[in-house]
Structure 1
């Protein structure tokens, strides 16, 4: 999936200032690492790419983004950085030593810098949302039954993980790391000063259900079946008719504010025990209220549900019906929305999409079976936070913060059903590269310049690895985007340029997926400089580095087999986010930008993207 550490100010994953990073990282920011081992085949260590080769790839990636004078100056900066005796060489040798002495030279740094040390709110900025296929609930009891089966589905999936009964995925003959699958359930991000803690529990024995801002603890025992759980959830609904205090909204504030409020919260009454129950739960189930019709006045259902998955929509609807620190929050709304929000720290999007698809298919199968209404059922424990005036005040401030962010993020989510990955393969092209180049054309059509374009590449062929950046903008992609702006150019010329752009992207993507990309090596060198207390090298303040890491377009493919998609926010104020799920006959897209930026338009991006896809289809078929 997505998310990365940038070097310039941004609205998402805003980095810590270089000088401030030194003092905040803890040696023990991850607690209770899973003992579950899912890898049946051994995996190699993530390599340290060759410095000189990476420098050349880096310079090539800058050519579309810099003018001639800027590029020539950057060449000099790079040559000085990597020359024998230069600071880059010194840092590189230290990084090689770290490679020899660690299981993965990058993973701990990345977890700290890109996630746990990131202090903006996790909602929109870091935590993606998943929108599942719409359901038709004829009565509240239908929603309660669906929610009960969601619990059953997650328990079933958890048992499969715990037993190790999950095949090791392969990319052709290359085994992939399965450990992320063991890190999504029973995991929690605990707020802490400077850098948060990541907690994981292998054997959770309960779930937390949030309904109308009320929290309930439901123990999970083998003797309880899903028919009983449906009655339990109905009982929870009866006991939470009156809205509860919106304590959950505190978790949507920025992390520095939240940790202060968190420490106040757990000091009151039995609140610490309640928070421990949240931390140790298998997952959180959010039973959302229906959304008012006005939410759909200007947006389609998919876009509104994207906002619901990211933020809960508003403090007046479901924004407080959350606990954003939990890795997995499944959402079932009385008006038929089912989805998920996930806290990004422990893993990328694929394990989440696999879990989501498992839930959707499991519940779909269960709904075809007849049910018997049981007379006896487990009664959930109502967890009631104790509040004082300082927490009441904190809730009011968090409400303003969350509502402001929810109103600022603008989503356009849609199903593009004119063709899918099967057609693109028929044209003998890479579906992912085809879509990426369509985004390049889209951005250029809107802004008359190329984006600094980030695509996430999974590094799961290596042990405990995370991601690399695919720098999708290339000389070839920009050349093609410019040609598409002129109708007079011959079709044959445009098609040749399109094929060149797609092939260039495919090559860049393959290098990144093999651990030979650009960004993670330089990230590692920067972290070595921090650890060794070396002044930040000029390389990292050069215009080539700052401009090429100020990602105005961030994208990732997250595959679902069900009619589902993922969405998230941009990573810079004037940027776009675009997550997509290409399926055999169609494609889902989740596009985003910020309303506060006058330069961007999510609707404009979405409509132009559709047209770019159509235009490229015509070229492919010509």
Structure 2
């Protein structure tokens, strides 16, 4: 038995909206409607559906409007024919839509389960359907009220007669807004699905493996990236070392063969992931805070100024997201229409980083056995159940729990156990062992924290300015935290709030999605805040107690002093640039991200008179266990542009031409890096395969290798309508960490360094942004006169 989803489009909507950005549903909840073609009979089955149908079926999307010229007769429709994932819509929200959705069976032919008609709201289609194969495209429909109907898998177009709707029956498919917005592409046919893995992981084992670039590809790209950074003699020395490394039968070829063998091993999902997780994070011995952790700062919630109310709202939303992750119902993320690896989500909840020598290790606890979270208040930790008798605590119940924690914390002072997690990792390893040896109660107490779903920190501070908030969420006072936990939600005395993440097993995209989701739930009133009874059988928050020896107390004191010393080395500035934002940048016909990268390059050039190695993260999560690759921002084109901008005699047309060349070079590199063909991870992997006793090849001994991967600028972009800031640390002592947000009408930069001059950098970023606006507006004015 086959099922089809039909979407009727009026003829005038053909070709509209090449890119549907997705106005998130404001009046309905959207979740996955999954129907899988198993090649046999069966009925449809929906995740979270109210329908009684069970089993499996194929889902198709049809265009009912007349095809383009030459595309067939009016009585035909194009069919996207393959197993598909559909974002379906709760039918109670369709009463005002002019189009109908029908779910039909072809046994008997034309049998209609549901049909709705009404008046006049336009439906957009992207891209325009044609007779051509849609193997790499996606058919996407968006109702003007923000409700999404989307097909996800690849398909080819073919004629199919229009079935005649018949008997109407009352079947409803239910949705939630968990699914991410997807751009107008669809996974190729190679992307199969595993229904048994659940919606979240259905593509996982069919994702492509991270590729291994050829030696020649990496050599060419590496030398090109070095040309604007080195002198002629330095570059010539590097060319000699590279040529020796990649020669036929040379050491590079031997290492490449080993790397290819690892990549092709069917038992290895990703040739890089174990090395990278260890070298970049787990074996890193400096303190997690401030060198590894990162933060998001939330916009104010004017309805919930009370910290307990805001904490309850945030916790409720987080638990809602957690439930989808635990049950593997969360819709996968997509990049350019392709499904992304969701493996890192397993490290989101009920997980922790454990200190150890020579490298830390992650632990994951069973979520069914650990239905609690931890609240930190005045340096003490409390265990709070988030589910009792199989029922999640409601917002009023959570408010009562948080209020009780505030009372308990006022009654007794305690040493700041959490400060130990801010220590050098080897030091924390030794102290943790000492704690466990001192008392078995300490081991139990640590495990309660480490196994918790997440941590909610109720801080007794009231940050107001963007910089005060950034400091609070990035590091705080180092005491009311447990820095080894991947998720810490921070609520201040004045109701301001934010998030702190531990980076070792997850990059920013999963936690960005989580934090965006929880704020969307709150600000769009998707949570039931109505009054409800507080159950009498909910246990009181349980203080987590430790038995502390004099040595442990001494270690805590040392940790607090070391924390103050480390943080004291840093400075932080926030630039809220109000001159313009994404809207105007797009009018300039520029990539917003590449444009802001050039703002940073020009600002650095203005400040130092030269450009230096710059890192921007490029996501490689389209591959199994993929994380990031380096985008080397500095190019010949970007340096030429910076120089022309500083030349008082340069013609504006030349500057504009140079800027566009720099933007194109940046987009090309970051695209290549996202495809797993960057320079840095490949060279890193080859080096890891060297025998410990082997001589270091010239390419690695060459000073250019170390210099070109010393990130004087470590940058990344993340934007959310619910955040007013985010950031992290610099990665070298002489460098800057610059996190930026690109909003519609403004830009925001979080600038961190070890006393390198953040205030001056703030000034030059403003100056560079102003110069670029003046330059590009001159082009707009010229075109307007034509």
Of the structure 1 ranges 376-385 and 322-331, higher mean CA displacement relative to structure 2 is found in: 376-385
SS in 2 for 1:240: helix
Map 1:104-503 to 2 at 5 A: 104-135=270-301, 142-203=306-367, 204-221=370-387, 222=391, 224-241=393-410, 242-269=412-439, 270-291=441-462, 301-312=465-476, 314=477, 319-364=478-523, 365=525, 369-371=529-531, 374=534, 376=536, 377-503=538-664
Relative to structure 1, the CA distance from residue 138 to residue 37 in structure 2 (aligned partners, 3 Å threshold; closer, same or farther) is: closer
Shift of 1:398: 0.6
TM-score, scaled to structure 1: 0.88
Q: Give the 3 Å change call, closer, same or farther, for CA 353–470 of structure 1 in structure 2.
A: same
Q: 1:564 deviation in Å?
A: 3.5
SS of the equivalent of 1:445 reads helix
Take 1:138 and 1:249, find their aligned partners in 2: how far apart are those partners? 30
Question: 2:577 and 2:539 mapped to 1: Cα distance?
Answer: 44
Q: CA deviation at 1:137?
A: 8.5
> Would the aligned equivalents of 2:731 and 2:737 in 1 still touch at CA under 8 Å?
yes
- Residue 216 of structure 1: CA displacement? 0.3
Larger RCO: Structure 1 or Structure 2 (Cα < 8 Å, ≥ 6 residues apart)? 1
* Compared CA separation, residues 104 and 223, structure 1 to 2 (3 A): closer
Distance 1:368-1:591 versus aligned 2 partners, 3 A rule? farther
Structure 2: distance between partners of 1:414 and 1:398: 32
Q: State whether residues 558 and 565 of structure 1, in contact with CA within 8 Å, keep that contact through their aligned partners in structure 2.
A: no
User: Aligned pair in 2 of structure 1 residues 228, 378: CA closer, same or farther (>3 Å)?
Assistant: farther
| Counterpart Cα distance in 1 of 2:530 and 2:337 | 44
| SS of residue matched to 1:529 | coil
Q: What does residue 511 of structure 1 align with?
A: 672
Q: 1:366 offset after TM fit, Å?
A: 6.8
Q: Name which of 601, 607, 613 aligns with 2:763.
A: 607
1:582 aligns with 2:738: no
Look up the SS of the partner of 2:749 in the other structure: strand
CA positional deviation for 1:149: 1.8
The TM-score with structure 2 as length reference comes to 0.70
Indicate the residue corresponding to 1:13 in structure 2: none
**How far 1:473 sits from its partner (Å)?**
0.3
Aligned 1:544-555 pairs, distance under 5 A: 544-555=704-715
**Number of residue-to-residue matches in the alignment:** 569
* Residue range with higher mean Cα deviation, 603-612 or 448-457: 603-612
Equivalent in the alignment of 1:49: 213
Structure 1 contact 129–342 (Cα < 8 Å) conserved: yes
Aligned residues: CA RMSD? 1.9
Residues 198 and 329 of structure 2 are in contact (CA less than 8 Å); yes or no, is this contact kept in structure 1?
A: no
Would you say the 8 A contact 2:466–2:724 is kept in 1?
no
State the shift of 1:37 in Å.
7.2
Alignment partner of 1:195: what SS? coil
Q: Determine the structure 1 residue equivalent to 2:151.
A: none
Q: Does the 8 Å contact 1:217/1:383 carry over to 2?
A: yes
* C-alpha spacing 1:564/1:164, structure 2 compared with 1 (3 Å): farther
Q: Distance in 1 between matches of 2:326 and 2:564?
A: 39
The separation in 2 between residues aligned to 1:541 and 1:426, in whole angstroms, is 46
1:36: Cα distance to partner?
A: 7.4
3-state SS of 1:267 partner: helix
Residue aligning to 1:22: none
Higher helix share: 1
Contact 1:127–1:310 (CA<8 Å) still a contact in 2? Answer: yes
SS of equivalent residue, structure 2 residue 489: strand
| Residue equivalent to 2:238 | 74
Distance 1:223 1:49 in 2: 49
Q: Which moved more, 1:608-617 or 1:572-581?
A: 608-617
Relative distance call for 1:238 and 1:173 in structure 2 (3 A) is closer
Q: Does 1:563 align with 2:719?
A: no
The SS at the match of 1:113 is helix
Aligned CA distance change for structure 1 residues 368 and 451 (closer, same or farther; 3 Å): farther
1:457, 1:219 → 2: CA distance?
38
Q: Distance in 1 between matches of 2:422 and 2:381?
A: 16
Deviation of 1:378 after TM superposition, in Å, equals: 3.4
Deviation at 1:273, TM superposition (A): 0.3
Residue 40 of structure 1 pairs with residue 199 of structure 2: no
Q: How far did residue 136 of structure 1 move?
A: 5.5
Contact map agreement 1:119 1:254 (CA 8 A) in 2:
yes
Structure 2, unpaired ranges of 5+? 1-196, 779-786
Q: Which is greater in Rg?
A: 2
The CA deviation at 1:367 is 8.3
Alpha carbons 1:303, 1:414 under 8 Å: kept: no
Extract unaligned runs of 5+ from structure 1: 1-34
Deviation at 1:554, TM superposition (A): 0.5
| Conserved 8 A contact 1:228-1:378 | no
Q: How does 1:525-536 map to 2 (within 5 A)?
A: 525-530=686-691, 533-536=693-696
Cα distance in 2 between the residues matched to 1:243 and 1:426? 57
**SS of the counterpart of 1:218?**
strand
Equivalent pair of 2:304/2:495 in contact (CA under 8 Å):
no
CA 1:398–1:301 in structure 2 vs 1: closer, same or farther (change >3 Å)?
Answer: same
- The whole-number CA distance in structure 2 between the counterparts of 1:373 and 1:415 is 44
Indicate which of 773, 777, 782 corresponds to 1:617.
773
Question: What SS does structure 1 have at the residue aligned with 2:362?
Answer: strand
CA distance, structure 2, for counterparts of residue 368 and residue 154 of structure 1: 14
